[in-house]
Chains A and B, each alone.
Chain A
Amino acid sequence: MSAIHVTTKINGDVVDYVCEADETLLDVLRNRLGLTGAKEGCSTGDCGACSVTIDGRLTCSCLVLGVEAEGCEIDTIEGMADGEALHPLQRKFLEHAALQCGICTPGILVAAKALLDTNPEPTETEVRFGLAGNLCRCTGYDKIVRAVMDAAQEMRRA
């Protein structure tokens, strides 16, 4: 197999990489670009730990080939904070103790941001279904849901 050249924008920066045709975007991010914030929990799209957005759409990066990202804009957890300022979701996750081990946290934050981008005032049920693709085994989701609702409220006020 020969490597393929790909040009993308990741977290606002133009990024060029080469990858094999059968390599997933998750592998590219983690192994070629050093962006290890997206995690591999299952590699079958069932856990959401590898969540990123591609052109604004929430996606499991394990279900996308690296070559498919040509010309796309990808956003990952590494681009979520604005310089020193954490995103309100990141802050609320800390304040609410919405993480224990933290392995699912990057994926959940990316998914929660995607949810609030399209629905700034979600009900608890909408938050729960919006995050159903992100498994968390530590928290029982209670504090996660509270943190997302609280962040949404703060973002609406801002």
Chain B
Amino acid sequence: MKEAAALLAKEKGSAFVLAGGTDLLVRLRTGFIEPDLLVDIKRIAATRSIQVTPGGFRIGAAVTGAELGEHAKLKKAWPGVVESANLIGSKQVQGRCTMVGNLCNASPAADSVPALVAAGAKVVIVGPKGKRTVPVEQVPVAPGRTSLKKGEIIESILLPKRLSRSGDAYLRFIPRTEMDIAVVGVAASVTLDAKGVCIDARVALGAVAPTVLLVPDAAKALIGTRMDDKALDALAAACSAACRPIDDKRGTREFRIKVAGVLARRAAQIARKRAGGR
């Protein structure tokens, strides 16, 4: 991994990391990028495994969507994260695409990023100056731009250990049933106490702002409640209020604001159910 980072750091022209390539090759093919150097990290063993660690899970940068879906333990602990990654593209794309690629592409509409943010995931970055670990939400800074410095590569994603009575979910809106980019994406992660009261929550939105948004007000709407209709209404309102969307070919501002609230409510209900709530 260090060698790969060194190669990237040394290159004077444009250099890119290749893992799944499902975004990179499209940009290459359409002439959008003309790299002088491509570094394929798939053959580095560390990038290919999902490890259960005392702290939770360590997911290598080149682990594909399909592999995430086949990992029973991960799926049980973080079903929302896995379902978000499994929504990226077709079965064909699933065999190649990675969450790290999804993150580094820095699209505000990336499916797996809201789920990772809601999960409180961190990334391990390897670079010329050694390793550093940062929360996922600090990686994308603008559409198509990340906070990674020259020569830095994300080596893995760290998902925390799952507390009991916890659940997460990701829902997105697309016009078709498959193959689309999210018009709105919402991820919710909740933890309940024995009585079914929400004691912790994180809610993140995709495709409604230049980067994926973590919405503290949405979490506040849930914490301390039994996630009843009133709390869900407040959640929906908080999510809609947090949106700073644009009108584009995929949807209007109004649509995104309204549907963010609708999906937040639905995602929270699924997360609650997964946490063992009624």
Contacts and interface: CB of A to CB of B under 8 A. Distances in A.
Given A111-B92, A115-B91, A22 B28 contact: yes
Contacts of A129: 177-178
B163 interface: no
Interface in B178-211: 178-179
A60 B92 CA distance: 6
Interface stretch (B19-27, B132-140, B218-226, B250-258): B19-27
A134 B178 CA distance: 11
Interface residues of A, number: 28
Interface in B91-140: 91-93, 95-96
Contacts of A114: 91
B249 interface: no
A45 B91 contact: no
Nearest to A59: B95
A51 to B, nearest CB: 6
Interface in A30-68: 43-46, 48, 51, 54, 57-60, 62-65, 67-68
A67 B25 CA distance: 13
B19 to A, nearest CB: 11
B92 A58 contact: yes
B157 to A, nearest CB: 21
Given A48-B90, A62-B25, A132 B96 contact: no
B90 A57 contact: no
Contact of B90 (A43, A67, A133): A133
Given A21-B38, A60-B93, A46 B179 contact: yes
A122 interface: no
A24 interface: yes
A120 interface: no
Interface residues of B, number: 24
Given A132-B177, A132-B179, A54 B95 contact: yes
Given A51-B92, A59-B95, A60-B92, A45 B178 contact: no
B91 A65 contact: no
Interface string B11-47: 0000000100110011011100001001010100000
Given A65-B21, A68-B40, A133-B178, A48 B92 contact: yes
B114 to A, nearest CB: 22
Given A132-B91, A133-B92, A57 B66 contact: yes
Given A63-B21, A63-B22, A63-B25, A45 B89 contact: yes
Nearest to B22: A63
A64 B92 contact: no
B183 to A, nearest CB: 17
A64 B96 contact: yes
Nearest to A43: B29
A59 B90 contact: no
A90 B28 CA distance: 34
A52 to B, nearest CB: 9
Contact of A59 (B26, B29, B42, B96): B96
B25 A64 contact: yes
Contacts of B30: 43-44
A45 B26 contact: yes
Interface in A1-49: 21-22, 24, 43-46, 48
B22 A45 contact: yes
| Most chain B beta carbons < 10 A, residue from A46, A62, A114, A115 | A46
Given A44-B30, A58-B91, A62-B25, 10 more contacts: A44-B26, A57-B64, A59-B95, A60-B90, A63-B92, A63-B96, A64-B21, A68-B18, A132-B90, A133-B92
Top 7 nearest A-B pairs (CB, nearest first) are: A133-B90, A132-B178, A57-B95, A60-B92, A133-B92, A44-B26, A63-B25
Interface of A: 21-22, 24, 43-46, 48, 51, 54, 57-60, 62-65, 67-68, 111, 114-115, 129-130, 132-134
12 contacts: A24-B29, A43-B26, A44-B26, A45-B90, A51-B92, A58-B91, A59-B95, A62-B29, A63-B22, A129-B178, A133-B92, A133-B179
